[in-house]
Every structure is written in structure tokens, then in C-alpha cells.
């Protein structure tokens, strides 16, 4: 097991410029000293075998994380996600298969990014032009809204959009 060069605790990071294995605390002390050493590129060590993982970072204070190298990931794949719980190494434990199809409540899209209900979020976070000439009309909550009110709101929105387009055209023409 690789040890921290300063305190002899288990190492979590390898600093390339310093050529030193460091634990999280010593890394924070060393690379938090000034902005020059904070620029050092550090490699996270594999949590399982402590070889360099593909994850690199720099900065004053790295957040403690767990990383795994490619070889350990491949080794886990070869073991077919089997986990032995209890017992000793002679075979006294029970072997369980991991259920890779279980729904643990995490919503992850096809790109591996978490999905937090994007459709609803997109409706709430729409881009609005900054140069509106009049404030937006309040939304009526009463059920007695008439067609005249909605058509006047629509025409007001069209007028605002048309005036913005006209201003943009004027700016473009002035640039020419």
C-alpha cells in the first residue's frame, strides 16, 4: 500500500511535479500554500490498487473522492459483478448476483447524466430578451378570463416582438 510522503497515512493522490504520494489532508496543506503550487496537476490514485487512475485535477483544495483505475474496472467485469458476503476465503460465504436492472430511484438519461425532470425545469428557466419595452402582463388566475383579454395579450406580445426586431435591424444597419 502506498503511503503519504509526509504523514505515512494511505495515499490518495500523486502529485506529478512534486513526485509525491499524498493523503487528502497533506495535499490540502501543501497545495493550499499558494497559487503556484495549486496549479500542480495531481492524479487520483485507484481506491482498490492505488495505481494512477485516469482522473487528474489541480487547484487549492481538491474534494475527497473515490476513483478506480481501468484495470480494476475490467477485473470487476470479469468477476461478473459477483459479491461474496460473510464467511471466510475457503468458501463459507454466500454468493449473491448483483441486480444491474434494479431501480434504485436514480434518474439517469442515455448520456449518463442525471435527469431531474428536465421538461418541467425547461419551462421554468426560459430565456427572456433583456430589452422589453413594457413589463410582462400578469397571468390571470380567475376562470372568467375572456377571449378579448387573451387576444389583447397576444397582440401586445406581437407588438413587443416586432419592436425588438425593428431595433435589432436598426442596429445592424447602423453597423454597416
Rounded Cα gap, residues 120 and 93, in angstroms: 47
| All residues at 6 or more sequence positions from 5 whose CB lies less than 8 Å from its CB, including other chains | 11, 20, 21, 22, 26
Query: Does residue 176 or residue 39 have the better pLDDT?
Result: 39
DSSP H/E element including 168: helix 147-175
- Give the mean model confidence (pLDDT) for residues 7-33: 91
Query: Dihedral sign, CA of 32, 34, 37, 40?
Result: positive
pLDDT digits (tens, 9 = 90+) for 75-117: 765 554 444 444 444 443 433 333 434 444 444 555 555 555 4
Query: Dihedral sign, CA of 91, 71, 8, 28?
Result: negative
Q: In percent, how much of the chain has pLDDT > 90?
A: 16
pLDDT digits (tens, 9 = 90+) for 126-146: 555 555 455 555 555 555 455
Amino acid at each position: 500500500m502506498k503511503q503519504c510522503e509526509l504523514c505515512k497515512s494511505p495515499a490518495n493522490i500523486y502529485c506529478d511535479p512534486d513526485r509525491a504520494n499524498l493523503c487528502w489532508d497533506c495535499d490540502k496543506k501543501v497545495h493550499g500554500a499558494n497559487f503556484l503550487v495549486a496549479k500542480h496537476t495531481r492524479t487520483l490514485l485507484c481506491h482498490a490498487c492505488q495505481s494512477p487512475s485516469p482522473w487528474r485535477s489541480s487547484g487549492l483544495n481538491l474534494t475527497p473522492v473515490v476513483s478506480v483505475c481501468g484495470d480494476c474496472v475490467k477485473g470487476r467485469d470479469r468477476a461478473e459483478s459477483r459479491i461474496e458476503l460473510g464467511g471466510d476465503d475457503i468458501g463459507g460465504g454466500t454468493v449473491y448476483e448483483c441486480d444491474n436492472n434494479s431501480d434504485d430511484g436514480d434518474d439517469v438519461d442515455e448520456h449518463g447524466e442525471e435527469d431531474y425532470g428536465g421538461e418541467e425545469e425547461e419551462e421554468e428557466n426560459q430565456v427572456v430578451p433583456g430589452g422589453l419595452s413594457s413589463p410582462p402582463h400578469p397571468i390571470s388566475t380567475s376562470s372568467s378570463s375572456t377571449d378579448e383579454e387573451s387576444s389583447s395579450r397576444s397582440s401586445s406580445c406581437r407588438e413587443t416582438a416586432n419592436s425588438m426586431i425593428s431595433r435589432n435591424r436598426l442596429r445592424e444597419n447602423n453597423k454597416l
